[in-house]
Structure 1
Amino acid sequence: MTPAINAAKKAKVEFKVHEYDHDPNAASYGEEAADALGQDPYRVFKTLLVAINGDNKKLAVGVVPVSGQLDLKAMASALMAKKVSMANPQDAERATGYVVGGISPLGQKKRLPLLLDSSASNYPTICMSAGKRGLEIEMHADDLLQITSGKIAEIAKF
């Protein structure tokens, strides 16, 4: 059981857990998950951390489809920040309690501002990391937003 699964259970939302054999040589953890689960890569989301205004102590979470990229300008704008940059992997791991490639938006050690790309509303459910490589959790986007106190925004570019 991961903190992400425990957070979903505690919130009493509907969710499914999907497990697959993780290949440590996979070029992209998100694309590997989409392929392994036979899911549309627009419906499988990755969790990325950014440093706000260059401060590695002020982090935020962007959740975007694995088929796209995080639009840093859109993320900064949505956070009402001057700029954001990708967080240092060690800072991301320390803040979330997860390892890179297995960072879940759920059950993080610190409650960070979270933005979910608006494309998530195109699907009845979305998949995201459940807190370790080879483990995904599927749920309604609204439930993710409720559990994390997140907001929806156009933050992906394709």
Structure 2
Amino acid sequence: MSTFEKLTALLDSQQASYTLMEHEPTGKCEEVAAIRGTTVGQGAKALVCHIKGNGIKQYVLAVLPADEQADLSKVARAVGGLRASLASPPEVDRLTGCVFGAIPPFSFHEELKLVVDPALFERNTEIAFNAGLLEKSIVLNVQDYQRVASCERANIIK
């Protein structure tokens, strides 16, 4: 099953309130927000990070508002590591089945821990994200996201 199929099956099985949109493929936050009719800050930016240090070697899917930048040292500390780097394209593909820009804020891989900055929940009633494909987006109720995603919360914004 593709990431898109896993995502929509999960949301449907959990009776989440969401809207699916098809649009021109783009991975740029500002462009896709304009297409969706949402603000850039409603976008859920998902970054695959490789964490090392303190005997830890782990991958994290760091999720934050798309108008913010991740502080990789905070991402590392959130899971007890010392340093973090962005994962390589082959690692991203293996862990998410997606290209950069299409990664939804959900993890479907046991090696990929989901860490979300609470600002995403506090600032929005709905979040928007690419749904595993650059040409499909989902706008999702933020309470349903919190209920369905089972994520760890940590301040990871610069």
Does TM, scored on the shorter chain, surpass 0.5?
Answer: yes
Superposition deviation, residue 155 in structure 1: 1.2
Superposition deviation, residue 102 in structure 1: 1.1
Structure 1 residue aligned with 2:17: 14
Structure 2 residue aligned with 1:82: 82
Q: 2:40 touches 2:67 (CA, 8 Å); kept in 1?
A: yes
One-letter amino acid matched to 2:148? I
What secondary structure is seen at the aligned counterpart in 1 of 2:45? strand
The answer for unaligned runs of 5 or more in structure 1 is none
One-letter amino acid matched to 1:22? P
How many pairs does the alignment contain? 152
Q: Residues of 1 paired with 2:107 and 2:114: CA distance?
A: 12
Deviates more, 1:104-113 or 1:8-17: 104-113
TM-score of the aligned structures, taking structure 1 as reference length: 0.84
Structure 2 residue aligned with 1:59: 59
Question: What root-mean-square deviation, in Å, do the aligned CA atoms of Structure 1 and Structure 2 show?
Answer: 2.2
Superposition deviation, residue 47 in structure 1: 1.0
Structure 2 residue aligned with 1:29: 28
Structure 1 residue aligned with 2:108: 108
Structure 2 residue aligned with 1:44: 43
Dislocated runs of 4+, deviation >4 Å: none
- 1:105-147 deviations in whole A, cap 9, x for unaligned? 2363446211112211211111112110021112233432332
User: CA separation of 1:79/1:112 partners in 2, compared to 1, >3 Å: closer, same or farther?
Assistant: same
Q: 2:58 touches 2:111 (CA, 8 Å); kept in 1?
A: no
Q: Which residues of 2 match residues 119-134 of structure 1 at below 5 A?
A: 119-120=119-120, 121-134=122-135
Q: 1:115 touches 1:153 (CA, 8 Å); kept in 2?
A: yes
- 1:76-117 deviations in whole A, cap 9, x for unaligned? 121121111111121011111222221112363446211112
Q: Residues of 1 paired with 2:130 and 2:141: CA distance?
A: 14
Q: 1:46 touches 1:128 (CA, 8 Å); kept in 2?
A: yes
